[in-house]
Chains A and B, each alone.
Chain A
Amino acid sequence: MPSPQDSPLKTYIDHLNRGELAYQFSPEAGRPVFYPRVLCPFTGSETLEWRVSKGLGTVHATTVVHPAEGKPFNVALVDCDEGFRLMSRVEDIAPEQVRIGQRVRFRVHKAEGDEAPYPVFTPAEGA
């Protein structure tokens, strides 16, 4: 019996554990696919390549969440230069200073306890 296919999420997390932001690329559609899937949503093809992003992007939308307890924090949608969008947050600046159009650079938020690693961003002026 052939071994089961790794889940798209596992591959994504494995890349993050190596400090990489991975995404899929559909050769048939000629465009990136994110979040990772088992088929290309543009063509239906199962042929998807994994690629590693250069980690540069632009803030597309931003909000500051004010929780009932604890400090306000940023939630943003980031458009990576390779042409895919993901949810993340911009760190190292006050959450209300995050601006649409701002250039940002990926870094990994490392796994902690049961929590998987995830991608965050920092300001990257001029990048």
Chain B
Amino acid sequence: MDGLKRGSAAIVGVAESDLGQVAEDMSVFDLMGQGVRRALDDCGLTLKDVDGLFCATTQSRMSVLGLAEYLKIDPPFMGSTIVGGSSFEYHVAHAMGAIALGLCNVAVIAYGSTQRSVGRKQASVREVNPYETPFRPFLPSSAYALAASRHMHEFGTTREQLAAAAVAAREWAQLNPAAWEKKPLTVEDVLKARMVSYPLTVRDCCLVTDGGGAIVVTSAERAKSLKKAPAYVLGCGQSTTHANITSMPDLTVTGALNSGRAAYKMAGLGAADVDAVELYDAFTINTILFLEDLGFCKKGEGGAFVSGGRIAPKGSLAVNTNGGGLSYCHPGMYGLFLLIEAVRQLRGECGARQVKDCEVALAHGNGGVLSSQATVILGTPATV
């Protein structure tokens, strides 16, 4: 198995759609359309150039068909792998493979959600699992709470340490004009907030917003002649350990361990080489688990690692520089926004939150209940 070739494709265009609370009656395809239009503008390509189309959403059963119709294009290569919030990191690897095989050359990956406007119950179909549903876990929160309970039990992680991840995210959000929540937040505020599923309060949980966006992926060769500096795909890795939390092999070790290893191997890089870390922080425990599993600290030390402002602006490691799913936006599936922020950091477009000399950025997607993990490592032209 030869696999994907480091640097053979690049992300050349990125854009968010409207975020937060979008206008009344906007559809998920309206939001994807905004994202596609803006991402193509970002790189100077047009709809006519698009021959690969990917999307995922919980609000349309055959979403890529809907999007192709909306854009009135007939791309020879389409994909709508849906494995939760990490779907878009999977799409990057799939697009890269398709480009390498000559199945397409310009792939667009899009997302849209109106979950804040229509309500969470309308935005995703409730699935019955006869082995879990009778116990009424508040999913996904309770699944992450169960993982957090194990982390606290095994490693002595505290609620204050979980809260520190939310506080750091809020401080980054205060530097991001597009962020939804910017009110000052303290550890005390997080602890005293409404309890959702112990030990997670509402401030340990991601936002519920609308939003969408798109990114454009093309071959390294084509990327060179476009508007902005390409963000080359240096490494990709995926791992799926379970679908339901009861079947997670080890509640304190996620598939990020394997997806990260695969991505680092392909990139020929390690955690120490990463300048900006964009992690899928649907819940505060995620930040801790992924920092551990991706090698930024040892297993069990994530709680201490996120404390004391270490991952906040001016800290020693730049983590979730847009404010994350906890404070920037979280429209149901957040994975695309990790890639958008990573690309912007590599281009130096991030203003007050810009990470200095950012050459390598890591976007790590999570889907389901810590179920599907996908890591994408991106680099500036200097890294290729």
Contact = CB atoms under 8 A, between A and B. Distances in A.
Contacts of A76: 146
B142 interface: yes
Contact of B146 (A62, A66, A96, A118): A62
B271 interface: no
A61 to B, nearest CB: 4
Interface centre among B132, B134, B251, by most A CB within 10 Å? B134
Interface stretch (B69-77, B157-165, B191-199, B371-379): B191-199
B145 interface: yes
B150 A60 contact: yes
B153 A100 contact: yes
Nearest to A36: B131
Contacts of B61: none
Interface string A56-82: 000011111111000011011100000
Interface of A is mostly: strand
Contacts of A66: 194-198
A87 B135 CA distance: 7
A116 B150 contact: no
A60 to B, nearest CB: 7
Contacts of A42: none
A71 B369 CA distance: 24
Interface centre among B130, B131, B196, by most A CB within 10 Å? B131
A15 interface: no
B315 interface: no
Contact of B246 (A65, A77, A101, A118): A77
Contacts of A85: 246
A89 B130 contact: no
Nearest to B131: A35
Contacts of B194: 66
B135 A75 contact: yes
B177 interface: no
Contacts of B251: 60-61, 77
Interface in A86-115: 86-89, 96, 100-101, 109, 115
A9 interface: yes
A65 B134 contact: no
A115 B246 contact: no
A63 B153 contact: no
A100 B145 contact: no
Nearest to A118: B134
Contact of A63 (B130, B131, B132, B149): B149
Given A60-B251, A67-B138, 17 more contacts: A60-B150, A63-B145, A64-B197, A65-B138, A66-B194, A66-B197, A75-B136, A75-B146, A77-B146, A77-B246, A86-B131, A87-B131, A87-B132, A87-B137, A100-B153, A109-B134, A116-B134
7 residue pairs, one from A and one from B, having the closest CB atoms: A63-B145, A118-B134, A64-B198, A61-B146, A66-B195, A100-B153, A35-B131
Interface of A: 9, 35, 60-67, 72-73, 75-77, 85-89, 96, 100-101, 109, 115-116, 118
18 contacts: A35-B131, A35-B247, A60-B150, A61-B150, A61-B251, A62-B146, A63-B137, A65-B138, A67-B136, A72-B195, A75-B197, A76-B146, A77-B251, A87-B131, A87-B246, A89-B135, A100-B153, A116-B134
